Amino acid sequence: MDNNKHLDGIKKLDSEDLRQAREIVLKSIGEKEQKDKEAVSLDEKSARDLEASTGKVNQEKVKQVDGLKMGRAKEMKKIVTSEISGQVDIQAKTSKALPQQIQEITSKQKVKQAIDTIQPTEAKQQSDLALPKKEKIIAQAKPDKQKDLLSKKDKKIKEQIKKDKKLTPDTPLTPLPPIRRAGKRGISEEGKDKKDKTKKVTKSQGFSLIESLKLTVKLFYNIILLMLLLTIISYISFVFILHNFNLDNQTTRTLAQYLPVPALISEVGIVEYYDYQDARIKLINDYLDNYQVVPGEEILAEKVKEKLIKELVINELARKYNITPSNQTALNAKIALDQDINYTVLVRMNKLKQMIEAGEDFYQVARRYGDDYNMGRYYNMEEAKNKFGLEVLNLEINQLSNIIITSQGYYLVQLYDKQNDLLGLKYIFLKAKYLDDYCREEMLELRVRSFVD
């Protein structure tokens, strides 16, 4: 910058000019000073401008702090601290420079008044052009008022510095409250609490409902067990009374229809208590009618047992062939034709056939192993068909038939002669099992549990 210029743009005076100015000032010292109101108002305006500039910086700083995200707190903390320290330096420089400027302005004011006295019109025009409008107004203010304003400004600056020190790097920043947003992701804490409470209430209600159901099922199960236990105890008591006291009346018979009391238990069925009693009474009456005497208790019990078990076997066989148990003729025929029941008979007959086909004498085999045999007889066609079946009508001389199964038993037939309508036949007969045979074998193999012995 030029050495003849001051910082504020005013031209410096040399020593001669200063001397003349002092003389002029001494002469005009009693003149009327310019009004103070304008200077005071303008000075206050400058103070407000300074406060506004400082406040603006603070507001920008606050906005920056308020807009921080939690992840950038340390970075913004450093920025705010640097801004505050820079602002404090500016204010300190301003507070140091203002008194010096005021003193210079005061001396310049006196010089200006002296120049205006000597050259009122020309000096006034030059000073108006040289001085800015703001500096010309400030130069007219009183020194005392300016000092008061400066002291107020200093106090405000110091207060601002004290406030700003609270945001130094050593002081931790207060975490910002979470931002609440509308929508599914922006649920408030109160809403979350209510939602959690609702879930807890719902869960508790669900748990209480499940517990109540469990208790109900458990209670129902216990009631069923209790009823079952009572039923078992009642049934055992009823069975014990019948077997030991031989009660026979309408009440006990009715109860026995709903609570069966076994007398005999076997693999093919159960004989109930009153069925056994009825069979026993009937057998006693038969003995009395036929023999006028009743056998001993053990023999009587065995006879009753045999009769009742045989009925169980016949009933099972009748269910197998879908025949009524009373039709014993049909049952005998079905048993004779049943190859499973007569399996041993069929094995024997196959062995005899193999022996004859191997060359052994028919007569010797029939005599040794057959249940019955015939070494020769003539049958007409009708008799042969009824006794042996249609197969014998087609035999050749000395030809041996297959095993012929009839309702009486099993035949092995050989044709030895044929004359016109007569057939000379000889045969070996093996007896098939009948109903009595089948029942006897089954009863020997059955295991029977008796509760009346």
pLDDT at position 244, please? 87
How far is 77 from 68, CA to CA, in rounded Å? 10
Predicted pLDDT of residue 80: 46
Spatial distance between the Cα atoms of 16 and 324, rounded to a whole number of angstroms: 165
> Which residue reads 């203010």 in tokens?
141
Higher local confidence (pLDDT), 271 or 46:
271
Looking at residue 350, what is its pLDDT? Answer: 93
Tell which phi-psi region holds residue 321, choosing left (phi > 0), alpha (psi between -120 and 50) or beta: alpha
Q: How many CB atoms lie within 10 A of CB 143?
A: 13
Q: Integer distance in angstroms from the first to the last C-alpha of the chain?
A: 146
Q: 237-280: per-residue pLDDT in tens?
A: 999 998 888 888 999 999 999 888 999 999 999 999 999 999 99
CA neighbor of 22 nearest in space, from 102, 100, 115: 115
Each residue's pLDDT tens digit, 408-437? 899 999 999 998 889 999 999 999 988 999
Residue pLDDT, tens place only, 61-72: 434 434 444 444
Say how far apart CA 64 and CA 76 lie, in whole Å. Answer: 8
76 has a pLDDT exceeding 50: yes
Structure tokens at 90: 């500016």
170, pLDDT greater than 50: no
Q: Is the pLDDT of residue 131 over 80?
A: no
Calculate the CA dihedral of residues 187, 189, 191, 196 and round it to 10 degrees: 110
Q: What is the pLDDT of residues 393-402, one digit of tens each?
A: 999 999 999 9
pLDDT confidence bin for 130, thresholds 50/70/90: very low
Instruction: Examine the pLDDT at 213 and tell me if it is beyond 60.
Output: yes
Max Cα–Cα distance, the chain, nearest Å: 198
Q: Rounded mean pLDDT of 157-164?
A: 70
- The Cα 233–Cα 285 span in angstroms is 36
DSSP bridge partners of 448? none
